[in-house]
Structures are given as C-alpha cells and as structure tokens.
Structure 1
Amino acid sequence: MSPRPSSESGSQAAESVERATLSYGRSPRRTSLAWKNLTDAPIRTTVSLSGIGFAILLMFMQLGFLGSVGDTATVVFNRMDCDVVVRSQDYLHLYDPSSLPGDLPQWLEGLPEVRQVVPLDIGVTQWQNPLDHSFRAIALMGIDLDEPAFDLPELTPATRAQLRPTGAVLIDDASTDDFGPSDGIKFGPADIGRTTDVAGSQATVKGTFEMGTGLAANGALLSSRETFEELTPGRRGNRVSLILVTLEDSENVEAGLNAIKQRLRSLGGPASQAHAMTLNEVMKAERLQWYFQTPIGLIFGIGVVLAVVVGGVISYMVLASDLSSHLSEYATLKAIGYSNGYLVRTLLTQSTLLAILAFPPSLLMAYVLYYLTSHYSHIPIRMTTTWMFLVLGLSLLMCNAAGVFALRKLLKAEPASLF
C-alpha cells in the first residue's frame, strides 16, 4: 500500500501547476494575443488603421507646411555670397528689414579683415497684372550691378547691362500665375519686353531668374538700386536695407565679425545700433522669426499639436472599443491568474502594432500630397528623415498614451462582476 501524500506535497504540487500555468502565459512561443485581437476582426481593424493613419497623415502635412515656412524664409539668403550680414536694429524679417545709413558700406570697406562690401535693397511693392490689371504685392530686390549681391547664373554681364536703364527688371520664374504670365502658367521668354505698372511707375521685364519665392511674397523682381528707388513707394534717400560683407579670411569668420562690430560701435549714432551677424546666424534667426513670431508659423505649429491630440482621441476610441468587446476574455485571463502587467503589455503591444501598421501607407500618401502641393502652390514642401522619425515617434506616443487611458477600465474591473 503506497503512502498517502502529505499536505505539504499537495501544496508543492499546486504551486508547480500554478507556476506552469503562469510560465505558459510568459512563454515566448505563445500566440500573440495582441496580434490575434487585430486579425480577429479585419474590417474593424481596417477602419481603425484608417482613422489612425489619417491622424498620422495630418501630422505629416502640418510638419511639411511648417518646414516650408523655414525653407522659404531662407531661400534668398541661400543665394547670398557673403560671410557677414549687417542689418538694422529695427529689422523684422527679410521683406521688412528697415534701413541703414547709405554711407555705412564705405566705413566698413576700410577694415583690413574685409574684402568686399555689397549693399542690398529689399522690400515689397505693388505689381499690376498685365492681363486683368489687378494689383499684387511682389518682392523687389535692388542690387549693385557692378557687385551683385546674389550668386545667380542669370546675372551675366549682358543681363546686368540690360538692367541699367531705370525701370528694367528681372522676374522670378517661380512667381505665381496671379502676376499675369503671358501663357497663364509661368513667366518665360514670351514675357520679355512686356511693360506694366509697378507702384505708379513703368517697369519692363528684361528676363527671368530662378531663386524661388516665399510665404511672405508669391513673386519677386530683381533690379538695379536706382530702379528699386523708382519702383518703391515713398523715397528713402541715402539708405540701404542690408549690407553683405565678404571677409579676407572666410575660415576665421569670428575675427572678422568682431572687427565689424567694433567698427560699428566706434562710429556712434545710428550706425552703432546696427547688428552684424554671420550668414548662418541670420538664417537661423530668420527661421525662428517665422516659426514663433508670425501667425503662419504659429498656425502650423499648433496644427502639429492638434494632429497629435486628434490621433490620440482616435486611438483611444479604437482601443476602448476593442477592450469593451473583449472585456470578458480579459476578465477570464485575470481570473485564471494572469497578472495586470501581462494585460498591460498586451494592450500596449496592440496599440504599438496599430501605429506601426498605419505608418507606411500614411507616409506614402504624404509623399504624394507633398508633390501635388509643391507643384500647384509653388511652395517647396519636402520630406526629410527628421520628419519621418518625428512622426513615427509621435505616432507611437499617441497610440500608447491612448492605450494607457483605455486600460483604466480593465484594471479597475473585478472578474467576478463581469459574468
């Protein structure tokens, strides 16, 4: 007759069964409950992915527009061939730069650290559409024809000679069709020789150039400084908008910058209030100005935040609905010993899968919309690696945050009360 097992042996056996049950729940070979929840109802999952994908696409578009604000803010600076830019203390942005004393370039030319000083006039004027005679705001840049401020292949000696007569201008071929190109689409050779009204004076198109426009102005003109004075409302006298300085030693910009600042302080008066900055510093400041101190930058920035909020709400609704439909199954798992930690991991895994599955089609659609928007609006919108990783991170964050909120109902529920 075999001996009866002691109560201690029975307790050990029960513990072994419990450990086996829980270890099965932790086994890496188990079927993924999160994945089964998604594949169990393919139609509902597809609808859920569509909603989350829409939120991801919205983030891509808002970030794309925000990026275009920064890109177009520096499109003119990218064409400047200089090391240091001197601007007024009242400078607001590129098309509202205020002005500096007109004799200031001569004072800077005498510095041994300086190789070349180039004045630049820039502002906004009124262009009359030659087709419908309506007026549009257009950017106007006045350059010294002997020492052009921009590195443009179109500014050949022959072209600069054509710009010497007062009223002669070049027009950016990126200017929108609101300005009246002859073919109704884009300015080109057919527009050369056309004359129109600009701020009450006559301007004649002598050719086109390629620089790119921005959100502050949908079109741009290039002229001599004398023509700039003629085509700009009001008279400024002996003033200049910006001063572009090229240093003798471009590798040691800091030394040249300090010399320029010292000269400005020594001059006293309005000149001492001018700000000298490296070209990179100016471009960075211009981007920040447009991002945080203009309505359009703030709108797109807020749009990104709202896209994350909308995506979080959609994700919460998706996960909460799925949790409610499987609440009895989750309760059964809790009743047989699965921990809250396991259920948390399951739901967060499911939310992560939703974000990962919704991301690729949203990225592809964003590429298509970026291309169409750039083509028809003439505003450059480009996809960057930064945008891709940022949106992916935000997608994972909003889905997992929604998962955490959806878990509260499950963690507070008692299994016995659900049957």
Structure 2
Amino acid sequence: MNSTPKASALSRRTSLAWKNLTHTLMRTVVSIGGIGFAIVLIFMQLGFLGSVGETATVVYERMPCQILVRSPDYLHVYSPSSLPGELPNLLSSVPEVAKATPLDIGVTEWRTPARGNRPASFRAIAIMGVDLDEPAFNLPELQGQVRAELNRAGSVIIDQDSSKDFGPLNNIAFGPQDVGMTTEVARTNAKVVGTFKMGTGLAANGALLCSRETFDKLTPMPHAGKVSLVLVSLKSPDEVEAGLRAIQRRLRSLGGQASNATAITLTRAKSKEIQRWYWQTPIGLIFWVGVGMALVVGSVISYMILASDVAAHLSEYATLRAMGYSDGYLVKTLLSQSSLLALMAFPPSLLLAMVLYQITSAHTSIPIHMNSFRVFFVLAMAMAMCNAAGVIALRKLLKAEPANLF
C-alpha cells in the first residue's frame, strides 16, 4: 500500500532534517553538547526543588497515626510551639480514638567533638522526645537493647543521615563506630547509644531521638508539662473525617489553651508542610527561581545553536523557498531538526543528571532522586524549548524575499 501524502511529506521533512544534522557532524555534536548542558541544568534545579518537598515530610512519614493535634502557633515540624501536657490523656477518652501519643520535637545545640586539627564547634540539630512505651514513630531501632539504653538519662540515638559536620568518627557517616560517643547537647552531657534512620533535610541536617525526660534536659528551654504534638490513632482508620470531627468537638469542650489546639489529618498536614516549604520559605522560592532561570538559559542556548544552524544553511532554505516550498514546510522541517537534537541530547543528559544526583546526595546528605514524572517533564520541556527556539531562529528567513537571501 502506498503511503499517504501527509506521511510522505513528514518523511521528507524528517529526512531533510536528518541530512542537515549528519552533513555537518561536528556542528551537530557541539549542538547536542550545548542543548544537553541546558537539559542537565534543568534536571539539577528540579532535583533541588524536589528535595524540598521530599525532605519536608520525612518526620511525618514515620508517624503511625491518622490525625495530628498541634498548637495554633505551629510554624513547621521543628518549630511546633507547644500544647498542655495533659492533652494526650484527655483525647484518649474520645470514643473514636484508639490512642493519643505525645511527641516532643524542637531544635537544640550539638557540640561537635574536637578531633585532630579540627576544633570543637556548636551546631543546631533537631531533637525528638518520645514515650518509649508507646513510641511516636515506626522505627525498628526503638526496640531491644537500644530502647533499654534510652531509658537512661542523657542517652540519645542519632540519625545515620545526619551531616558529617556533626563529627562521626569516620568523618563520613554515623554508624556503629559512634556508639558510646559522649558530647554536649544544650551544654549538658549526652551519650550516643545507637543510631536510627529517618532522614534529614533542608530544615535540619541532623537529628537526635531520645526519651521525653531526656528531651527536657537537652533542650534550651524547659519543656516539662508541655507537649509539641499529639498523634491520634483512630479505632476505625478508614473513618478519618468522623474521627477528626469528634476530636475537634472534644478540643472545643476543654476550654483554656487546649481549646485553641488545631486538629488536622496527617495527609493534610503533609500537604501543608510541602506547600509551606515550596512557597513560603526562601529555600523553596530560590529553587523555583532556579528552575525558571534554567529554562531561560536553556532556551537561550537552544536559540543560539539553532540560529547559527539556520544561518549556516540559509542558502539551502532560500533555495527551497524559491522552488515554491511553503513557509509552513520550512518551519516544520526545522521543528523536525530541533526535535531530533533534543531527542539525541536527552539520553546522555539524563544519565549525567542521575550521576550528579548521586554525588550531590552523598556530599550534602540531602536526598535527590530521579522519578518518572521528572524524566517526562524535562523531555517535554526540552522539546518545547528547542522547537520554540527553532521557530524564533527562522523568523529572519520568513521575513525576507527569496532573491535577497542569495
């Protein structure tokens, strides 16, 4: 069966675009390198932006509950303000509630031990206090011997993902070799009795976990008689909205400071935390600007490459125009060429971006992961960027008379 005229025209355009690329192979290689650089730049900025959302909820991801109760002055997970300490017991009596678990969380001061030529220094670190009988987190490390060790005053476990700036013995990451380390936390002696793995992020690049009693000793301000968050598990986890309304009714009936507490579903809390870090913090806004600038830089690079290519083949395009080929045909031919450039530049750019993600994550302790949405989004952006640049680069040809182009 013969191909349709439309398919034949598409084949001719693609063939011409391909011959333009292969005829000047060195120029094509340079063009692929330039466009690939732009694509890698976009990947990196999106990776940094994505890490903001990924690290915003690392603490929430470990909470075995459906509803959170928090202060009306809550800012973010490491600055939650406080609630009356008796609130967990008061909420436990709600018929829909299976249990209400207290969690203390905040930021304190860690003294990095002096080693060799490196002097001791003080750094901010997140700290979380849990009831060891009913831990607020799903962590296997809160079992067995480590759990027994945490009952001793001043004992802490440290997140394995904490930055090496906090002074692990191997100067790489915290692990078994650091068990037994003693240092100062909030100017009070503390002993590392184990490690756990939760994940840190942009809000805090290190984290400690301890009992609630130790938390009160290792924080700058007294916390006794208060609680940072209350984690509510429902008897019927599928009936979250009904449980939420019941808790809200109980809070309103309590009076005092407790009546001002806010109940929110865990899912909604995660969403609000991500939105805050994306849109209400300098870090998130900087990375959004970075993504925009990467797209602009990529578009400029693509335009310069394709404008140079159009200038190099101007006489050929003029000949086609003089022969009667329409402006639409020329535009579609250049779109085919720019699309081919984007498609050829994309695979090596993707591989390089994945390598850079791994290197960046290893050196910054900030998780940056590739995902399918980002891959297809950047591919679409690369195609759109190159095609838009190609059309703009062709405007000189489209505005000129064929006789003036020779």
2:281 to 294, 300, 313: 294
User: Structure 1 residues 168 and 23 mapped into 2: Cα distance closer, same or farther (>3 Å)?
Assistant: closer
2:96 to 113, 128, 151: 113
1:72 to 55, 67, 82: 55
Matched with 2:143 is 156
Following superposition, the deviation at residue 78 of structure 1 comes to 1.1
Deviations 1:119-164 (A, max 9, x none): 1010111000122321111110001111110111111143222212
Structure 2: give runs of 5+ residues left out of the alignment. Answer: none
Deviations 1:34-53 (A, max 9, x none): 11111111111111111110
Query: Is 2:347 aligned against 1:364?
Result: no
Distance 1:23 1:86 in 2: 63
Matches within 5 A, 1:47-86: 47-86=30-69
The answer on whether the counterparts of 1:25 and 1:338 sit within 8 Å (CA) in structure 2 is no
Query: Is 2:391 aligned against 1:408?
Result: no
Following superposition, the deviation at residue 24 of structure 1 comes to 12
Matched with 1:398 is 385
Distance 2:358 2:348 in 1: 16
Query: Is 2:82 aligned against 1:99?
Result: yes
User: Structure 1 residues 28 and 138 mapped into 2: Cα distance closer, same or farther (>3 Å)?
Assistant: closer
- When normalised by structure 2's length, the TM-score is 0.94
Matched with 1:88 is 71
Paired residue secondary structure (1:154): helix
The answer on whether the counterparts of 1:327 and 1:410 sit within 8 Å (CA) in structure 2 is yes
User: Structure 1 residues 404 and 40 mapped into 2: Cα distance closer, same or farther (>3 Å)?
Assistant: same
Following superposition, the deviation at residue 23 of structure 1 comes to 10
Deviations 1:45-89 (A, max 9, x none): 111111110010011111111111111111111111111111112
User: Structure 1 residues 24 and 226 mapped into 2: Cα distance closer, same or farther (>3 Å)?
Assistant: closer
Distance 2:59 2:104 in 1: 13
Higher gyration radius (CA): 1
Paired residue secondary structure (1:52): helix
Following superposition, the deviation at residue 281 of structure 1 comes to 1.2
The answer on whether the counterparts of 1:348 and 1:403 sit within 8 Å (CA) in structure 2 is yes
Query: Is 2:370 aligned against 1:383?
Result: yes
2:18 to 35, 54, 57: 35
Q: Give the superposed CA RMSD.
A: 1.8
Distance 1:418 1:66 in 2: 46
Report which stretch shifted further, 265-274 or 224-233.
265-274
Matches within 5 A, 1:308-347: 308-347=295-334
The answer on whether the counterparts of 1:84 and 1:276 sit within 8 Å (CA) in structure 2 is yes
1:215 to 202, 207, 213: 202
Report which stretch shifted further, 221-230 or 273-282.
273-282
Deviations 1:288-346 (A, max 9, x none): 11111111111112111111111110111111111112112211111111111101111
Identical pairs, percent: 63
Aligned residues: 398
Structure 1: give runs of 5+ residues left out of the alignment. Answer: 1-21
Following superposition, the deviation at residue 27 of structure 1 comes to 7.6
Paired residue secondary structure (2:230): strand
